[in-house]
A and B are shown apart, each in its own frame.
Chain A
């Protein structure tokens, strides 16, 4: 027995070592990624969650305050306004840049000189949001901005004194227009790639069957493009939640907090008023909304696709 065991041990040990090493190898490969995710994503998330139940102010040791920060949030009129503006941003940033980009992609497939327009339309996407914000702040300037000057020259005198960034909710819509101008190009690229990679057979079959124009787009192109529309819409919605730099540069959420979104409110509470507990509570609310939205949206879309 002993002899047998002794005789097998070195081979078994070597084999066990090999199999252990083999089974550990994949973990070693993912370890750096796991490390970064834990240190730079999960740990800060947990810390933020904990901080949302404290009165942290960046100076003193935080005290546990239970749900006070959440109660303050949900009874504050600023939070309600901020939530309303965020919803406007999310809906508008899905509807406008995505639908415009889709329409443009269809048009560019057909027009002569498509390459030139593609480049021209994509160019704003290469700008930093802050740069776009500065540029459009000049355009929207009430006294000598290009927009009011153009309106005046076209005979719209009553509109030529409009304070685009100083009246609510006009300021939010003006910023959404800027955002649309900047983000339409990236969506356009997604749709152009999608259109070029569509299978030829169903398209040609539909054409032979006599489908054309709007009917062809609605019944043939759009269903085939669903995966691309899904991705573009989801990305647009998430980006709509996150918009900060553009708003900060153009209005800082003002005047009188009228154009704040949740992200701007979070920043203001955390880094201007130093209510870091409240700020963390807003961060948690934003994350929950984005998570719920992504989950239901993806589940709905994937259900539909599986039925197709």
Chain B
């Protein structure tokens, strides 16, 4: 009895730790999404593919924690990351699991197209699953549009005319922000891809310069919009937080449009606006009316660590994650544009965007954050912020951006 009493806590601790070890953890830096990860994990548990979300509030702490553990046995079994150049580093370190067989299984069944995997493919191997693929579109306030007597634009000229009408009514046309640094790239990539998507693609891989006339034109257009009062001050908060959060201004009708990834629907929903009823969505038109429509996309990967202790379980979860069952729940919980062909979503704004995408079949262009090397865009957003706060720095900003690009690309030669 004494022995039993003494050993009981030990047995309990062991039992608990075994139970804990069996619950696979999905590391992420998205606190707002975390409970939904766990909900999908609960569904997976029914077929032995359970997991729970473990979230980090600060993305830089998260990146440091994941990067430093990847080469050890403490590596997280599954984790969210960023695609493109941000993922390349990890792939080259040899710490990521090749997930090509799982993709092949679902591609053969027709559930996924071949394009989607491109963002996660390195040397012919696919190293991630789609956490989500976000399309960057314009969310517009229906009441503000109605009051100004305008409709979603289909041409650049109509867009400019809408901006002027909104301005005349005291409503700011678009939001822009330097808060948290990264949103500073949004309008640079949007103006450039609408003006000359080929130039954008060349710039991303170092085959064009930030001082080229085409890029100068982008800054000129951007500055002219600021001068005309079409943008909020750059000090506006990007989310709904703070007293001047963009989503809050949008809900109040002081701001007519927000250009963001489709994951922003959750932020707008947080202000109480109803999708479809209070706000809708459209794709930003191109400057040349005859050009093919263009849209920025952001592919967010879900990765399995090669060194994780419970890798076998992680692969089981990875298989479940790709299934229509898991994706139906995930896409609906998050109001994401579905990536699995068999999935449909209920959110009317997401439906509207999905329908616009299938109707206009735009050219898909990778977001600058992933499309160009981190060494350029990380300090690059600080340069773009400088321009947004003081447009007179334009030529200095362009020169500094090119200096960053030269420093990186020259090292690659």
Contacts and interface: CB of A to CB of B under 8 A. Distances in A.
Interface of A: 57-60, 137-138, 141-145, 163, 165-167, 252, 254-257, 267, 270-274
Contact of A142 (B68, B233, B385): B233
Contacts of B233: 142-143, 163
B93 A256 contact: no
A282 to B, nearest CB: 16
B61 interface: yes
B234 interface: yes
B149 interface: no
B221 to A, nearest CB: 21
Contacts of A272: 60, 63, 378
B412 interface: no
A300 B178 CA distance: 45
B167 interface: no
B91 to A, nearest CB: 11
A59 B67 contact: yes
A273 B234 contact: no
Given A167-B389, A255-B385, A255-B386, 7 more contacts: A59-B67, A59-B90, A145-B243, A163-B389, A166-B235, A256-B389, A272-B378
Given A59-B89, A163-B233, A166-B234, A274 B67 contact: yes
A257 B71 CA distance: 32
Contact of A273 (B70, B93, B378): B378
Contact of A254 (B64, B68, B181): B181
Contacts of A57: 89
Nearest to A168: B389
Given A163-B235, A255-B389, A274-B67, A144 B93 contact: no
Contacts of B242: 137-138, 141
Contacts of A143: 233, 235-236, 243-244
Interface in B230-251: 233-236, 242-244
A252 B180 contact: yes
B244 A256 contact: no
Interface string B360-384: 0000000000000011001100110
Interface of B: 60-61, 63-64, 67-68, 70-71, 89-90, 93, 95, 178, 180-181, 233-236, 242-244, 374-375, 378-379, 382-383, 385-386, 389
Nearest to B378: A273
Contacts of B378: 272-273
25 contacts: A57-B89, A58-B67, A59-B70, A59-B95, A141-B242, A142-B235, A143-B233, A143-B235, A143-B244, A163-B233, A163-B389, A166-B389, A254-B382, A254-B385, A255-B178, A256-B383, A256-B385, A257-B379, A267-B60, A271-B64, A272-B63, A273-B378, A273-B379, A274-B64, A274-B67
B382 A257 contact: yes
A159 to B, nearest CB: 15
Contacts of B61: 271
A141 B236 CA distance: 9
Contacts of B180: 252
B244 A144 contact: yes
A124 B330 CA distance: 44
B246 to A, nearest CB: 11
Contacts of B243: 138, 141, 143-145
B64 A256 contact: no
A6 to B, nearest CB: 50
A257 B380 CA distance: 11
Contacts of A167: 389
A264 B93 CA distance: 27
A276 B383 CA distance: 22
B178 A254 contact: yes
Nearest to B71: A59
A85 to B, nearest CB: 15
A1 B178 CA distance: 92
Contacts of A141: 242-244
B63 A255 contact: no
Nearest to B387: A256
A165 B244 CA distance: 14
A252 B181 contact: yes
Given A138-B243, A141-B242, A144-B243, A59 B178 contact: no
Nearest to B89: A59
Contacts of A145: 243
B235 A58 contact: no
A59 B96 CA distance: 12
Output the residue of A138, A143, A256, A257 with the most chain B CB within 10 A.
A256
Contacts of A267: 60
B53 to A, nearest CB: 22
Contacts of A256: 178, 382-383, 385-386, 389
Given A144-B243, A166-B389, A255-B389, A271 B90 contact: no
A256 B387 CA distance: 9
